[in-house]
Amino acid sequence: MATLAELARSHTDLDEPRLAHLQDLVSSWGLLADLSFADLLLFGRGGGPAADRLVLLGHVRPTTGTTLYRADLMGQVFEARRRPLVSEAFETGTTVRGTVNVGADRDVRVTAVPVVRDGQTVAVLARERIRPVDRSTSEQERTYVGVFDRFAAMIEGGEFPYRDEERLRHRTPRVGDGLLLVDADGRIEFASPNAVSSLHRLGMTRGVTGARFDDTGLGSAMLRSAFARRTAVIDELERTDDRSEVSLSVVSHCFPLLAQGVATGAIVLVRDVTELRRRDRQLVSKDTTIREIHHRVKNNLQTISSLLRLQARRLQGEEARSALGESVRRIGAISVVHETLAQSADDDVAFSEIVRPLVRVVEESVSSPLRPLAFTVDGDAGTVPGQVTTTLAVVLTELLQNAVDHAFPASSTAPDVGDPEPGSVRIELERRSDGLSVRVVDDGVGLPDGFDVAEATGLGLTIVRTFVEGELGGRISLRPVERGRGTVAEVRVPASRLVGPWGDSRDPTG
Ligand SMILES: Nc1ncnc2c1ncn2[C@@H]1O[C@H](COP(=O)(O)OP(=O)(O)OP(=O)(O)O)[C@@H](O)[C@H]1O
Ligand SMILES: [Mg+2]
């Protein structure tokens, strides 16, 4: 769908500052639609010879009322004479009101407001609403429509959207959250029921209407600043009740109402965000707890490694020593994963990030290289849930260790050849829609004759088989490299295991 900027560039000759003015208007016009209980349409006019064309640059529906238009109208082009009220607003630069008959018994009330910037009409904002059939309006409705009319006058007078208003990414309060109408002296003229409830929670027990805004507990600085700077001001107030120790959070957004540069009042939208803020705090503390736990696990693993190393030094038998040495390496692989988990904010890990550190763990275990080895990593594995990462890390370490231990035995390099070619160990990662494949490819001597993974009795491949088939529901294969030397060890993990507990694991291809 085309954006406001795209539509304006292709259909009108609005320059950047005017376009920015319309974008500012559109960024806060949900408020206007809610106040007017009506659809708002923003019309631009064709440039040059196309001046008899109107293009719909924007549309917003009210959350307080029903929409006239179910379909998406953005980008539609109209002949100017089909929208006479909008055209008249363009021509005269003043607000035009009227009724348009759109069917046997459907009269649409239209208010066409010129959007003026530096004395020039940039666009026309049309408020369109089915005429209510003898329905009496409530005080609230009359008040809101009255406030809308004041905003409309500001739009026509070039005073809205405000200049240099701070833009916020967070969801600011809406009309339905609570609205206060304040006069130029800071007295509350009107308060919606939700606003009254919020003020009661803030400790205001007296009647709200007629009270001074200063007495609401929302802070009078906000209102003064909005009046003085003639722009919207947003404030968040946190108050702790002394007796109950409950802390309350209220966001308020103050819009001054202006007439010829003078503030004649303001509306303040208020929203009780106590519950939201409490949840935010909980999430933050959960997050730090998880990190702290990973950190401690990592430290504990290091302690275990040191204990095993100490014990290995006291042993005499070579076999026993190397067995403990291997355990130290296996624990090292798990530590690497915990290091990564402790740093990342969520439970998912970009698996490629831990491959390099794992290679280092294996490289360190090669005590006296008979032949230099070159490790390379290809492809991307995408993100993988924390638990799967731990298991895969152990599996990958075993496969790397086997390549180091068995693919390049001493006898495979002639002692008198001098500088031998480095042996290559390539780790290939591939993420597809059906799962993840991790391959360790070496160019060594190849598997022994008659080798079968299912019957391998070494501890390494037993661990790999148990983890891959049991924990990951995946498959393992070891086969010779096609048309070449060496071995391919491949592990495949089905896609169903790669989705985190929240089902949001991201696929790098997606
Ligand atoms: N990349 C490889 N190149 C050649 N042979 C391999 C390769 N990977 C595995 N093998 C063969 O598979 C056998 C079984 O490996 P496994 O990891 O189960 O045991 P191990 O490495 O001998 O002992 P451990 O891993 O317990 O120290 C190895 O002894 C070796 O013969
Ligand atoms: Mg092994």
Q: Could you identify the residue written with the tokens 């924007």?
A: 58
For residues 461, 467, 468 and 472, what is the CA-based torsion angle, rounded to 10 degrees?
180
Ligand 1: atom nearest CA of 403 is: 1
* Cα separations in angstroms, 328 against 306, 307, 321, 369: 8, 9, 11, 19
Question: How far away, in angstroms, is 125 Cα from ligand 1 center?
Answer: 75
Task: Tell me which of 326, 404, 406 to substitute to probe ligand 1's pocket, judged by most ligand atoms within 8 Å of the beta carbon.
Answer: 406
Q: Which residues of 247-266 are buried (b: 16+ CB within 10 A; e: fewer)?
A: ebbbbbbbbbbbeeeebebb
> Which residue's C-alpha comes closest to atom 23 of ligand 1?
458
Ligand number with the minimum distance to the CA of 465: 1
Atom 28 (ligand 1): residue with closest C-alpha? 406
Q: What is the pTM of this model?
A: 0.60
4-156 and 175-272 have identical folds: yes
The CA-to-CA distance between both ends of the chain, in Å, stands at 21
In a mutational test of the pocket of ligand 1, which residue from 328, 402, 447, 488 has the highest number of ligand atoms less than 8 Å from its CB? 402
Distance CA 412, CA 223 (A): 84
pLDDT of residue 412: 60
381 CA to centre of ligand 1 in angstroms:
25
Greatest alpha-carbon pair distance for the chain in Å reads 106
d(CA 392, CA 399): 11
Quick one: which ligand is closest to 462's CA?
Answer: 1
**DSSP for 426-484, written as a single string:** EEEEEEETTEEEEEEEE-SS-PPTT--GGG--SHHHHHHHIIIIIIS--EEEEEEPTTS
- Ligand 1: atom nearest CA of 444 is 3
Identify the pLDDT of residue 508: 42
User: In the prediction, which pLDDT does 339 show?
Assistant: 81
What pLDDT, on a 0 to 100 scale, did the predictor assign at position 135? 65
CA of 300 to the centre of ligand 2 (A): 25
How far apart are the CA of 316 and the centre of ligand 1, in A?
Answer: 25
State the helix-helix crossing angle for 4-11 and 16-27, rounded to 10 degrees.
140
Nearest-CA residue for ligand 1 atom 8 is: 402
- Atom number, ligand 1, closest to the C-alpha of residue 487: 1
For 132-158, the pLDDT digits (tens) are: 666 677 899 999 999 999 999 999 999
Sign of CA dihedral 94, 97, 100, 106: positive
Whether domain 4-156 has CATH 3.40.190.10: the reply is: no
Asked if residue 86 lies in contact with residue 54, where contact means CB atoms within 8 angstroms, the answer is yes
d(CA 204, CA 292): 42
Q: Residue 247 has which token pair?
A: 């802390």
- Nearest C-alpha to atom 20 of ligand 1 is from which residue? 458
Compute, in angstroms, the gap from residue 497 CA to the centroid of ligand 1: 27
For residue 457, the ligand 1 atom closest to its alpha carbon is: 18
Cα 73 from chain centroid? Answer: 28
Nearest protein Cα to ligand 1, atom 3: 407
**Cα of 402 to ligand 1 centre, how many Å?**
5
Provide the CATH topology of domain 175-272: Beta-Lactamase (3.30.450)
List CB-based neighbours of ion ligand 2 within 5 Å. Answer: 402, 460
State the CATH class of domain 366-410+422-510: alpha beta
Confidence (pLDDT) at 242: 67
Say how far apart CA 72 and CA 67 lie, in whole Å. 11
Closest ligand relative to 461 C-alpha: 1
Measured in residues, the chain has a length of: 510
pLDDT tens, the chain, 510 aa long: 689 999 999 999 999 999 999 999 998 899 999 999 999 999 999 988 888 999 999 999 998 888 888 888 889 999 999 999 999 999 999 999 999 887 666 788 999 999 999 999 999 999 998 876 666 778 999 999 999 999 999 999 999 999 877 766 567 899 999 999 999 999 999 999 999 999 988 888 888 999 999 988 887 889 999 999 999 998 888 887 666 667 888 999 999 999 998 999 999 999 999 888 888 888 877 778 878 888 888 888 989 999 999 999 899 999 999 889 888 988 988 888 888 777 765 678 889 888 988 998 888 777 555 678 899 999 999 999 888 888 899 899 999 999 998 998 876 655 555 556 788 999 999 999 999 999 999 999 999 999 999 888 888 999 899 999 998 999 999 999 998 899 999 999 999 988 755 444 444 443
Ligand 2 centroid from CA 464, angstroms:
9
> What residues are in contact with ligand 1 under a 6 Å CB criterion?
326, 402-403, 405-407, 442, 444, 447-448, 456, 458-461, 487
Of all protein residues, the one whose alpha carbon is nearest to atom 9 of ligand 1 is 402
Ligand 1: centre distance to CA 460 (Å): 7
Q: Whose CA is nearest to atom 11 of ligand 1?
A: 447
Q: Which atom of ligand 1 is nearest to the CA of 442?
A: 1
Report CA-CA distances (Å) from 81 to 7, 123, 191, 198: 21, 16, 42, 48
Strand partners, 439: 428, 490
Q: Is 130 left (phi over 0), alpha (psi -120 to 50) or beta?
A: beta
Give the count of beta carbons closer than 10 Å to the beta carbon of residue 183.
14
Q: 113 - beta bridge partners?
A: 125
Q: Domain extents for the chain?
A: 4-156, 175-272, 276-345, 366-410+422-510
- Return d(Cα 474, Cα 466) in angstroms, integer: 10
> How far is 109 from 37, CA to CA, in rounded Å?
12
